[in-house]
Chain A
């Protein structure tokens, strides 16, 4: 097949985007572990490793720009590269949210977590599952899967709403708990935003496959 070198570069760009997806998925998992297990060393690691996430994003962007400049991609190749340029921004932001959760672990210091964490880890599990399946859909160009994943954002939003209301009651009952309730609220917010970012990724997958730019499932928050 002609343009072998170009095809290999294109495939490499895809692979790098998937690698970034894997990096941020791991970051989310480790940040939640750091919070649940009160593991400050792990939290610091997640924060430090966010620099690598950012670097990977910029490397992928640079690679994509070089491909555009030197190979003049057209049609599905062009859509693919443009989709990747957008997806890596969302992935990098997911990495930031993970680092934010790790920072909240550190902010607790020796203060106990306000309450037993049930809904917040559930939000994290749902968001990570959405992300992993979105990355599969990216590889398989599965438009139906991308649309379905995006609708699951509603479940995460509903959980966040529940977390928010519950934490409000804690704050009202005990003003001394406001700081710890707020920290958990921020964790919930970050996890809710992660699911939103996955929805964005699904929109780009649909664009890559069909050429259509559509907004799926506008978030409640």
Chain B
């Protein structure tokens, strides 16, 4: 039986504050649906991602959260047979409009994946600038400054500044992930999407990434998919709970300020999930 979606938008007296004029720059979706071939994976997602905030997407396996994330920067369509309907608006411009270059979209909306994936045949330095080479930047001095700035932004500079020519694969898992984040930042995105960025990392590396996410939101908008509810509650300002119904189609069940969603969710399905009463 279809259950109503509980959309709890932050009200005026919520504690999270932001300048009202920045709402125009939010990433948002309208009626977003996505298919793998004939299988409908997510249906009618309407999500507002607030600027310079961290939005977590949580839900059980198979709920469509990673699919939804990949739709936000047109990564879903690179999968054979995959398609999308609805709109995803960045700066109120639909990234799926016919005249939009998906490569440019992915520059503005970067992505970090679950398994750290530095390009193994490239040095640390070349890993960071890999995206810049694609965008045509060629001035060496500017590249060097950009590399240092991005590696400092991910708290990796001091650890690697004397071995920038070494392979990216020579780093630890946590360092590799921070290198991947630096690589994403190098093309100066507005939004950074993270798909379970800490799943493959140990607890200390995880905490370092979470600390980094908190720092990065000063300059970027972050959307993070995580199956770790405690992580979602630690790092995010807003949380979106996804769930697949009996028809195995993922829907957005509830969205709201993280503090409220984890202490007083409005939807029973959200309550059941976060208290572990599912099943």
Is A211 a contact of B230 with CB atoms below 8 Å?
Answer: no
CA distance A1 to B260 in the complex (A): 25
Contact with A along B72-84 (1 / 0, CB 8 A): 0000000000000
CB distance from B220 to the nearest CB of A (A): 28
**Please, could you name 24 A-B residue pairs with CB atoms under 8 Å apart, sorted by A?**
A1-B277, A2-B276, A2-B278, A2-B279, A3-B275, A6-B276, A72-B229, A73-B275, A74-B229, A74-B262, A74-B274, A75-B264, A75-B270, A75-B271, A76-B264, A76-B271, A76-B275, A77-B275, A78-B263, A79-B263, A79-B264, A210-B264, A211-B263, A211-B264
Complex formed: what's the CA distance from A52 to B279 in Å?
A: 40
Question: Nearest A residue to B264 by beta-carbon distance?
Answer: A211
A79 closest partner in B (C-beta) = B263
15 further interface pairs, Cβ-Cβ under 8 Å (given A3-B277, A75-B265): A1-B279, A2-B276, A2-B278, A3-B276, A72-B230, A74-B263, A75-B262, A75-B271, A75-B275, A76-B264, A76-B275, A79-B264, A210-B264, A211-B260, A211-B263
Closest to B265 in A: A75
* Nearest neighbor of B266 in chain A, beta-carbon distance: A211
Contact present for A74 and B279 (CB under 8 Å): no
Which residues from B are CB-within-8-Å of A75?
A: 262-265, 270-271, 274-275
Question: Complex Cα distance A76/B271, Å?
Answer: 8
Encode A126-152 as 1/0 by CB contact (under 8 A) with B. 000000000000000000000000000
Residue of B nearest to A74 (CB): B274
Closest to A211 in B: B264
B233's nearest neighbour on chain A, judged by CB, is A74
Looking at chain B, what size class is its interface with the partner chain?
A: 10 to 19
Q: Interface 1/0s, chain B 204-245, versus A by CB < 8 A?
A: 000000000000000000000000011001000000000000
Closest A residue to B277 by CB, please name it.
Answer: A1
Give CA–CA (A6, B275) in the complex, Å. Answer: 10
For the complex, what is the distance from the CA of A210 to the CA of B263, rounded to whole Å? 10
B49 to chain A minimum Cβ distance, whole angstroms, is 23
Of all chain B residues, which has the CB nearest A78?
A: B263
Closest chain B residue to A6, Cβ basis: B276
The docked-state distance in angstroms from the alpha carbon of A107 to that of B31 is 76
Name the A residues within 8 Å of B260 (CB-CB): 211
Min CB distance A146 to B, Å, is 17
Give A79-109 as 1s and 0s: 1 = Cβ < 8 Å from B's Cβ atoms. Answer: 1000000000000000000000000000000
- Nearest Cβ in chain A — how far from B148, in angstroms? 39
Q: Mark B59-70, 1 if CB is under 8 A from A, else 0.
A: 000000000000
**B230 to chain A: closest residue by CB:** A72
In the docked arrangement, what's the CA distance between A3 and B271, Å? 14
Complex interface: chain A residues within 8 A of B264 (CB)? 75-76, 79, 210-211
In the assembled complex, the Cα of A17 lies from the Cα of B147 at a distance in Å of: 58
Chain B residue contacts of A210, Cβ below 8 A? 264
Residues on A with beta carbons closer than 8 Å to the beta carbon of B271: 75-76
B257 to chain A, nearest CB (A): 12
Closest chain A residue to B278, Cβ basis:
A2
Q: In whole angstroms, what is the CA distance A1 to B279 when docked?
A: 6
The A47-93 residues at the B interface (CB cut-off 8 A) are: 72-79
Inter-chain CA distance A2–B278, complex, in Å, is 7
Measured between beta carbons, the chain A residues less than 8 angstroms from B274 are 74-75
Chain B proximity of A221: nearest CB distance (Å)? 32
Collect the chain B residues with CB atoms within 8 Å of residue A211's CB.
260, 263-264
Chain A residues with Cβ under 8 A from B263's Cβ? 74-75, 78-79, 211
Report the minimal beta-carbon distance from A209 to chain B, rounded to whole angstroms.
10
Chain B contacts for A3, CB-based, 8 A: 275-277
B86 shortest CB reach to chain A, Å? 30
- Residues B275 and A74 in contact, CB atoms below 8 Å apart: yes
